[in-house]
Structure 1
């Protein structure tokens, strides 16, 4: 009975946390980790290994993946790269600003360079065209999380946009009409203008 009450309280605490939290969408969230991702709102009694003062690692992971899934609109199997998901989540809602790459505003290539620096410690070229020249081309059906996706407006046209592939046809990017967001390659505009995918050497 006691355990049932504790689990109910934990579920209620988690539910309330999502009512009071929102996806980061401005410079006021710069440098802050998503609260739900750190499991800081869980009651202390959810600890494991005899330590009643700390949430278990599995509980923290479950909360983190749940938060990323909700914020990014992805169906996760809890084995994805948390560092990539956390970093992309932290940038969601950043406004578009041509030529910039900060939480106050960023363009598409600025967003990609910052994420790769933060997640992989890799310094990419600043423009989408230059990035494309340095990647290893991969087929659309072979894309993996962290690959880059490139767009152009028709045959013979230059590459004008780049994003980071996540999974299930979804990619993160900074769009001029909405800032950093997650979109689908199946949306008519991106499906029509998709050009190629490329993999960056991160080792």
Structure 2
């Protein structure tokens, strides 16, 4: 019985591959719960791999892809991309079309070092930490401009605090929401905006489903 992903047979660049430094993170599953995508790091390179639990195998799909997240319709991957391929320069959120391999960098110029999440087939969410340590959840259209630009900060952001073993995965507002502030405003402008309570509720439900299968620390 296989115990870890490191035991899976690897095909890299079309050839069988083995190495002692193989490391995986950022796993995201398809609807059939058999196929999955993940980050594979080895030999100083970071790959997006597609895996098959039943096989069990993985194959490289693209380079410079970290922390992938599969869209609900299974057509695209949201991920963090090292600037110029160098993690020292930071990461930018991006989206890859799996059919064509085309990559679109999302309109966010701050470094996003975290696995993104899909709110729906058209919207990507991610977390950014303020200087005071508060974590805000932001959203951006997945079809945003190809060239990144600063996200527009609206008042009334809320932060999502998730802990394994937390029974209700409560969302705690950083401050009261300003009247009339809605996530749709960011979609019209193509800018990143803090998500509202309805969106946080959707994130809570997704997180609860995930953490229900993970043991508490």
TM-score normalised by length of structure 2: 0.28
Which structure's residues are more often helix, by fraction? 1
Looking at CA atoms only, which structure, 1 or 2, has the larger radius of gyration? Answer: 1
Which structure's residues are more often strand, by fraction? 2
TM-score normalised by length of structure 1: 0.29
